[in-house]
């Protein structure tokens, strides 16, 4: 797969895993993930088969640029955790990530109480504002 040939299956699997947290016994972990996104913190590690990283072209290091195949990028990188030796193939702009995130978050919170919904939406609003999105 070529760089930035968007693998929406990978993105969807990741978003489903994040949103499952809201329906399991760990809704605070779901909120923590949303909070992390507003701080441009990705998710990865034990239990996550997809990792995410957030990049700003203006602050990328040489190793970041090398990791992305020699290009600077503003947005979110999705990478298969078991395939970290090769450059990632799925890069979403912040707007693309926000659009997907909103879709999944709304599905995940629809049956939750109003305060939980408000908190989740507040983090979406913060992410949107942090990146000047539509």
- How far apart (Å, rounded) are the C-alpha atoms in residues 7 and 77? 11
The model carries a pTM of 0.88
Q: pLDDT tens digit string along 48-89?
A: 878 889 999 999 999 999 888 888 989 998 888 666 667 777
Q: pLDDT tens digit string along 9-41?
A: 889 888 998 998 888 778 888 999 999 999 999
């Amino acid at each position: 797969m070529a760089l930035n040939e968007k693998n929406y299956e990978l993105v969807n699997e990741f978003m489903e895993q994040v949103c499952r947290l809201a329906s399991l016994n760990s809704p605070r972990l779901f909120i923590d993930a949303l909070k992390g996104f507003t701080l441009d913190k990705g998710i990865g590690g034990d239990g996550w088969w997809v990792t995410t990283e957030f990049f700003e072209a203006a602050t990328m290091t040489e190793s970041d640029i090398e990791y992305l195949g020699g290009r600077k990028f503003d947005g979110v990188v999705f990478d298969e955790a078991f395939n970290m030796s090769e450059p990632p193939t799925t890069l979403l702009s912040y707007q693309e990530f926000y659009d997907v995130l909103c879709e999944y978050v709304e599905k995940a919170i629809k049956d939750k109480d109003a305060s939980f919904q408000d908190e989740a939406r507040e983090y979406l609003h913060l992410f949107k504002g942090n990146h000047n999105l539509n």
